[in-house]
Every structure is written in C-alpha cells, then in structure tokens.
C-alpha cells in the first residue's frame, strides 16, 4: 500500500516516490521568515546526504551529528564488536585504528557538504552493549551449540562473546556506562574520534575548503568530567593540527542533558565554549520518565485525563525542563558572556518549543532536516507575536496615561 500523508488517500501497491522539495512559492515565504527571525535554525544530520538535504531546506549548520550511527553500518559493526570485546587498551586501539579511516571519511563528507557552516559532532554516546547481540539471544545460541555439539571453536567464540555481554549488561543502561562516562573509562575511543575529526578538517583545509568543526562531549554532569575530557580533546586536536602544519579553529562544548549540569553550568562553562541542550534526555531525567516506556503506556492516558497538557517529549515542558534550561543558560553566560547556546533534541522542530526557545534567548534550534522549514517559520512567527504583544502593551500604557 501507498498512503498520501497530505490527503489521506490510500493506493494499492507501491507508487513511484520523489524526494521532498520546497516549492518556489514556499521558498519565497521562508525568505520573508528569515528576514524576521532571530533564532538560528540548524539540522541534526549524520551523513553527507542528510547534510546536503539540510542545506537544501535552509539549515545554517549542523547542531547534532551522532557518531554512533556511523558505527552501526554493516561493514563496521564487526570491527566495533571486536573493539568492545578487547580486554586491554592496546588491543582496543588496534581495532580503533581500523575504524579511524572510516570515521575520517564520514567527517570529510559532512564537513565538505556544509561548506564552512558549523558542524557540531557529538562523541560516542550510547552504552556499548547496544552494538552487541542481546543477552537473551546469545544464551539461546550458546545453549543450542552446546546441545548440538557444534564446532568447538565456534562455541568458544560465542561463549567469549556471551561473557563480554554479561560484563557490559546493565540493569538501567540509561543511567549506566554511557555518554561522557565512556570517554572517561575508555579514553582511546574518544581520542580516535577526535583524531578522525581533526584529520578530516585539516585535510579539507589544505584543499581550501572552509570548515568549522565543533566537538561536543555528551552528558556531562560534573565539572571534573568536563575538564578531564576537554583536556583529552584539546591535547589530541592540537597534536593533529601541529602534525598537519596548518591553522584550524575549532570549539569544544558539551550537551546539557543532566539536571545537575544545569545547576553547575557556571562552572562547566569554565571549560566548555558552547552548550547544546539534549532535550530528549533532559526531559527523561527531569520527569523521571523512560521515553520508550512512557509514550506507549501512561502518557496517552495522562493526556486524555489532562494530567499533562502536552506530551513532554513532543513539546518542551516550560515549567520544569524549561526552568532547568533557563538556569543553565543564565549561569553559563554568567561565566562566559555571549556563550552560544542551542537545543538539538527533536523539540527543535516543534513550533511551540521553538517559540519558547526564542523567548528564553537561545541562539539556535536544531531538528531533523525535514523539520527545518517548520522551525524557520516558527522562529519568525515568534518575533511577530512578540512585536504584537509589545504593541498591545504600548496601547494599554497610553490608555492608562489618558485616563
């Protein structure tokens, strides 16, 4: 079946598809919107193709490039799994050396596609077990191999994999060994990624391609985490720049998604040059909701019974999550005046959330490429609503004066 999302029509079979494009009339409206809006509009993009699509839709940069998606590709997953299985830093580095050229090419493609616009690259974020088979599936496989008296070498390999999966298994992965904790426990992973970013950037620079890489450390909760990883990133970056014999401007910042990071943002800002709110995880941690579970179980009931006005994973909760954002922004800029701050969760494409970000005083929102036009319009509408409110306020003041 083919469904037309605009009309609701359903057609038998698969109809030919065409890539979404902006009509000349809509592009004209968006140009008007760009003249009014103050918020920058970036896109979340993980591939050169996504980056090009983002530019076509008017994105002014990439607010989030997720490196873990690059690790999931079929030709890389076996190497990633071998790296995770490694039991020493040296053996892990050997696997990372195989991944290095792959990541470097990824970053070359994205940086080239953005043609000098800022590209914010988040270092590895998810728990390592996500790259391995599930514990339950492996237990079944090992049991079947034992019962069938399979090849001993195959059984041994599966048992070794099972042991590693058990070691990495966590009761609550959301709060376990992930985000910046990965870089603290396995620094060689982040070193490889920084090397790939900087080698790609310096190579393009030599080819006279303008590049603006921003390296984002995920999920910082303490100042010491930020400082330790900032030192790691800058040491590796400066080493690559020196070896390349060129000059390259880059920035190191962090994704703010822990409530504690919001509270100590003035100190985190001593070591971070920019903040980007990861509103998906920040919402989970402020509410104490698991998004994967909540949206399929109780949130529909909460919306129906008016316990919640909006789904907080679709629209920013201004009273709770929004106040943490305000705190982090104010405290961060108290330390680093004019600090660039944005959001990179999918809230960046929601008009109500975009308006809140405008009122809050953020510099940009970042969303999926296909939501960029919506964000551009919403950002302009926020300015017009603000002006309308100010005009109404002025009229009210004049009336009071006359009375």
Q: What is the pLDDT of residues 295-345, one digit of tens each?
A: 889 999 999 999 999 999 999 999 999 999 999 999 999 999 999 999 998
CB contact burial 320-339 (16+ within 10 A = b; e otherwise): ebbebbbebbebbbeebeeb
DSSP 315-365: S--TTTHHHHHHHHHHHHHHHSTT-EEEE-SGGGG-HHHHHHHHHHT-SEE
Three-state SS for 167-202 is HHCCCCHHHCCCCHHHHHHCHHHHHHHHHHHHHHHH
SS3 115: coil
Residue tagged 């009273």 (tokens): 319
d(C-alpha 228, C-alpha 364), whole Å: 27
Q: Is the CB of residue 89 less than 8 Å from the CB of residue 73? A: no
Q: What is the pLDDT of residues 253-278, one digit of tens each?
A: 999 999 999 999 999 999 999 999 99
Q: Is the CB of residue 280 less than 8 Å from the CB of residue 345? A: yes
Q: Which of 252, 208, 251, 215 is nearest to 116 (CA)?
A: 208
Please give the pLDDT value at position 206.
94
The pTM score is 0.89
SS3 379: helix
Q: Residue 310 gets which letter from DSSP?
A: S
Which residues neighbour 336 within 8 Å (Cβ) at sequence distance 6 or greater?
269, 270, 272, 273
Mean pLDDT of successive 10-residue segments in the chain (403 residues)? 88 85 87 94 95 94 92 85 85 91 94 96 90 82 80 80 82 89 95 97 96 97 98 98 94 98 98 97 96 92 97 97 98 97 93 97 96 96 92 69 61
Q: Is the CB of residue 229 less than 8 Å from the CB of residue 183? A: yes
Q: Residue 15 gets which letter from DSSP?
A: P
d(C-alpha 271, C-alpha 294), whole Å: 35
Angle at 19 between CA 41 and CA 381, to 5 degrees: 30
Q: Which domains does the chain have, with CATH numbers?
A: 23-127+174-402 (3.20.20.60), 129-169 (no CATH)
């Amino acid at each position: 079946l083919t469904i037309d999302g605009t009309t609701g029509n359903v057609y038998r079979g698969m109809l030919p598809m065409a890539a979404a494009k902006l009509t000349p009339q809509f592009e004209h409206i968006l140009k008007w919107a760009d003249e009014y809006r103050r918020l920058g509009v970036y896109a979340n993009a993980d591939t050169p193709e996504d980056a090009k699509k983002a530019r076509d839709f008017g994105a002014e940069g990439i607010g989030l490039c997720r490196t873990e998606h690059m690790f999931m590709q079929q030709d890389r997953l076996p190497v990633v799994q071998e790296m995770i299985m490694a039991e020493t830093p040296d053996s892990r580095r050997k696997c990372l050396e195989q991944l290095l050229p792959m990541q470097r090419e990824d970053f070359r493609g994205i940086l080239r596609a953005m043609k000098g616009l800022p590209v914010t690259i988040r270092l590895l974020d998810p728990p390592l077990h996500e790259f391995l088979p599930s514990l339950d599936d492996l237990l079944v496989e090992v049991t079947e191999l034992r019962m069938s008296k399979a090849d001993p070498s195959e059984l041994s390999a599966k048992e070794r994999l099972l042991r590693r999966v058990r070691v990495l298994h966590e009761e609550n992965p959301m709060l376990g060994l992930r985000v910046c904790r990965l870089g603290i426990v396995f620094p060689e992973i982040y070193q490889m990624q920084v090397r790939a970013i900087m080698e790609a950037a310096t190579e393009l620079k030599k080819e006279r391609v303008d590049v603006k890489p921003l390296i984002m450390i995920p999920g910082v909760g303490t100042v010491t985490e930020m400082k330790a990883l900032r030192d790691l990133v800058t040491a590796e970056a400066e080493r690559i720049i020196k070896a390349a014999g060129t000059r390259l401007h880059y920035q190191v910042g962090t994704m703010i998604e822990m409530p504690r990071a919001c509270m100590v943002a003035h100190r985190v800002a001593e070591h971070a040059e920019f903040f980007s709110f990861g509103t998906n995880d920040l919402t989970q941690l402020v509410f104490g909701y698991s998004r994967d579970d909540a949206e399929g179980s109780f949130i529909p009931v909460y919306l129906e019974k008016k316990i919640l006005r909006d789904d907080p994973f679709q629209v920013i909760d201004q009273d709770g999550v929004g106040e943490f954002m305000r705190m982090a922004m104010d405290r961060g800029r108290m330390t680093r005046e004019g600090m660039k701050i944005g959001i990179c969760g999918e809230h960046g494409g929601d008009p109500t959330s975009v308006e809140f970000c405008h009122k809050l005083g953020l510099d940009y929102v970042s969303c999926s490429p296909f939501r960029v036009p919506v964000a551009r319009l919403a950002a302009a509408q926020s300015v017009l609503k603000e002006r309308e409110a100010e005009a109404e306020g002025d009229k009210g003041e004049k009336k009071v004066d006359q009375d």
